Amino acid sequence: MGYNRSMKNRLIAIIGGVLAVVLVAVLVFWPNTPAPTIYDGMKVYAFNAGKADSFLIYNADFAVLIDTGEKELGDTTIEYLNANDIKKLDYLIVTHFDKDHVGSASKIIDEVEVGKILQSNYPKESKVYTKYLEEIEDENVSVETVREDLEFTLGDARFVVNAPAEEEYVADPSNNSSLIVSVYYGETSWLFMGDAEDLRLSEWLAINDEKYDFIKVPYHGHYQTRLGDLATETAPKYAVITSSEEEMEDDSAVSIFKDAGAKVYLLRKGALLFSTDGENIATSR
C-alpha cells in the first residue's frame, strides 16, 4: 500500500510539473493580440441601436450627436457621454422625426447641455415628438429647422448639412425629408444619409461630385433603386448599416456596397468606434 501511494504521489507530481511547463510555454509563446489602434483626431461612435440611428462625432474640442435612436437608447447614450467625459453636445442633429431617430432626444436634452439643435423641416406627430418639443421649451435650447444648406466648423472638423429640396414629398415624406450630413476632418470624409429614400437620393446625387471614406447607408439597408448609384458615386471604404435581428438589412444592399469596394459593418452585431488622425481610419468594437 505504501509503495502504491508513493507511486501515485510521484505521478501526480510529474503531471503537475508537465502542466506547469505547458502553461508557461503557452504564456510565453502564444501570440499577443495587439491593442486596437484608436486615433485621437476625431472619433465616430456608432451605437448599436437596433433598427435605429445614433452616431456620436467627437474629440477633445467638440461633440455632435446625429439622431438619438429609440427611447430605450437614452440611458446608454448618457452612460457613454459620461464615460468619455463629454459634458456638452455642441449640436444635436435630428435628421427626421421618426421615433427610431428622435426617440431618446427628450432624455438627452433633459440631462445633457445642448448648444443647438438642427432639425428636419417635416414634423411627424407622435408621443416622442411631443416630448421632444416640451423638453426643448423647458431647457430653452436653440433650434433651427434646416430649409437651406448650412455649414459650420468645430475645431478642425467641418460639417455640411444638406436640406431637403421639398417642403413635403409625395412619397414617404418623413424619410425623404432626412437631413444629409457630410463631415470633413483632415483628408477624411464622412456621410450620414438618415433614412433618405429614392426621391431624396436622386436630388442629392444630382448635386454631389464627391467620394467618401465612410457612409451611413440610408434607411437601414433597405433596397432602393438609386442605392447602386449612391455606392458607385461615393465609393466609400466603409459602409455602416443600422438594422436589427427582427428587421434585417436586404442582402442586395450589402452586396451593392461590397461590390463598390466598401467594407460593410452591420451594427446589429455590435456598436463600433471609428477613429481618424485626419488621414488614416481605424475601427474597433
Its pTM stands at 0.89
User: How deeply is 165 buried, as exposed, middle or buried, from its count of CB atoms within 10 A (0-12, 13-18, 19+)?
Assistant: middle
Which phi and psi (to 5°) does residue 281 adopt? Answer: -125, 135
pLDDT in tens, 37-69: 999 999 999 999 999 999 999 999 999 999 999
pLDDT above 60 for 22: no
Binning pLDDT at 50, 70 and 90, where does residue 249 land? very high
Please report, for residues 41, 115, 158, 210, the alpha-carbon distance to residue 279 in angstroms, rounded to integers and kept in the order given.
10, 29, 15, 17
pLDDT value at position 3? Answer: 46
Q: Is the pLDDT of residue 20 over 90?
A: no
Residue 26 scores a pLDDT above 50? no
When pLDDT is averaged across residues 119-142 and rounded to a whole number, the result is 97
Q: Which residue in 135, 116, 133 sits closest to 124, CA to CA?
A: 133
185, three cell numbers: 476632418
pLDDT of residue 33: 64
Q: How many CB atoms lie within 10 A of CB 208?
A: 17
Separation CA 277–CA 256 (nearest Å):
28
Give the model's confidence band at 242: pLDDT under 50 very low, under 70 low, under 90 confident, else very high. Answer: very high
Kindly state the percentage of the chain with pLDDT values over 70: 88
Mean pLDDT across 143-165: 98
Of residues 152 and 14, more confidently modeled: 152
pLDDT of residue 27: 45
**Direct distance between the N- and C-terminal alpha carbons of the chain, in angstroms, rounded to an integer:** 59
For 199-238, what is each residue's pLDDT tens digit?
A: 999 999 999 999 999 999 999 999 999 999 999 999 999 9
Alpha-carbon distance of 62 to 181, in angstroms, equals 16
pLDDT for res 24: 45
What pLDDT sits at residue 35?
82
> In the prediction, which pLDDT does 285 show?
87
Whether residue 76 is predicted with pLDDT greater than 50 in this model: the reply is: yes
Least confident of 25-29, 101-105, 270-274: 25-29
pLDDT at 165 over 80: yes
